[in-house]
Amino acid sequence: MNRKVVAYLFGFYVFFTVYNTLIPFSFDYGLGDLPEQLSRVNWKFYFGSEDIALTDIVGNIILFMPFGFLLYMLLFYRGSRHPILLATLAGAALSLGIEIVQLFIQSRNSAPHDLLNNALGSWIGAVAGSIYAVRLASISRRIFYDLLDRKPFLLLITLIGLGQFVAAVMPFTVSISVSSLAESVKEANIVPFTYLPIGTLVFGYPNEKTEYQISDAALDSLRAREVPEEVLSPLAGLKDLESCRRSRFLNEVKRVIGGRARDKYRKLILRFSELKEQAYFSFSKMFENLLYWMAAGYLLMICYRIYWRHKAYGPLLLFALPLAYFLFLEGFQLIITSRISDINDVISGYGGVLLGILLYKLLKPLRRKNLRSDLDLLRIPLVIYGIFVLYAGFQPFDWSFDAEVLAKDLLPENLIPFYAYFRKTSLWNMYDLIATTAFMVPITLYWSFRRIENGASYHTQYMLTTLAGLLTGMVIEFSQLLSFERIAEITDILAYGAGGAIGTFLVYYYHEQVAPTLGLIRKGQLRL
């Protein structure tokens, strides 16, 4: 890993962390308000406080893990002593500074457990950095350069598979307890083109994806069933609660009316609070998944034609390996408590791979006509991928110019960069931001490589790819501004632009760092 790149990444991440933890920068209090603000701090730690959510704890830990990792790598390269300790202390110091400043921002909450979570995240990141630097760096570097030298298309497929696996197991809520596994099996869907979980299909259990919400109609129905007012009155306070699944809904009901009352009126409350019109299966989302894996299937067929065509195990790798991958992925999600295993994901994933293989065969005349180098083989899968990006951004195509639809997006939190993402630290927010940034990278990487090859300057290409990313983001976010289900945010536009610039940066890194190293390896002057 290049030292200069690590230094730039570390500087950017510190700025990114400070910016996103101090939004909206409205300093509502002065030094004279400090004693009162300190008295409002939640001094309870992990136990005895219902205000501390598990997702908030994990989110704050993960937020500082890249900080610890990058700072460890910088200290390691400099030969510093005790880099893990220094990275952890630096993370704690940065977190302490942020928590102090947040005391003066009304919309932010300072808490000692955030400091501990951030310090723990820095330590975990630093430990991961030490494991990588000491044990994994040389191995991963050897594998990377070997694949890049001899099987570059296989390297692409490997990166796609690893990236999709990480995305599929987010947010890493792993549980291997018997009860959690039983719940996951009960929620798993084995019926194609619908959502009918095993628990409902076999045992008649309630559908765990069903959502509930207290409404005036639900309260009237409960009142008609002679539910007492001392129960209805607290329930009315839940009308502002967003729709949620059964377990969270019942916990909220228990909080306001108590366990005994909840158990006594449980069936009635669930019956009249259930949101009936819910679609758990979407052909639109299935088609989105299929498009993505079509591009991957096309690349897999390229690997077969170049590397495996004359191997006895070639057809097995082409057809059996993807099926095994998707089955493994859905099976692994049984131990991810916030994920649901679904046969539709296997169908759309494997179906997309097969369609990609078929498309490779059907487009043989077009491919040969425009083939001047191996890099030209990437044109068609990139076109498919581009269609996927636009489709994923535009769907569910429920566009409307209704004032109510437009008004729900035109909020300060959506117009201030990153504010909606980090108003509350969330693993899903982080994942969504990273995924949005990554959308443009493959397209601008190929485009930049071609233009730099033809003599274009990096300065010009950075401007072009960043502008292309921003324009793509603007088009997609404008469509989401008109969508009832989607939320348009300026953050996503900036993320598309950043993804465009990253594609050009990767080309720069390849020419400045990777290609010279690969040249030394080929000449036998460097051994990894």
Domain residue spans of the chain? 3-148, 164-198+281-374, 210-273, 396-528
Identify the segments of the chain with pLDDT beneath 50.
49
Question: pTM for this one?
Answer: 0.76
Whole-number Cα distances in Å, 243 to 211, 252, 276, 278, 324: 6, 11, 12, 11, 36
Q: What is the pLDDT of residue 61?
A: 84
Question: At how many degrees (to 10) do helices 152-169 and 321-332 cross?
Answer: 20
Whole-number Cα distances in Å, 361 to 227, 366, 384, 392: 66, 10, 15, 26
Least Cα distance to 278 among 226, 206, 223, 334 occurs for 206
Quick check: 357 and 301 in contact, CB under 8 A? yes
Q: 146-190 pLDDT, tens per residue?
A: 888 888 888 889 988 888 888 887 766 666 778 778 878 888 888
CA 448 to chain centre: 26
Sign of CA dihedral 454, 460, 463, 464: negative
Quick check: 455 and 387 in contact, CB under 8 A? no
Least Cα distance to 4 among 97, 94, 70 occurs for 70
Burial of 193 (0-12, 13-18, 19+ CB in 10 A): exposed
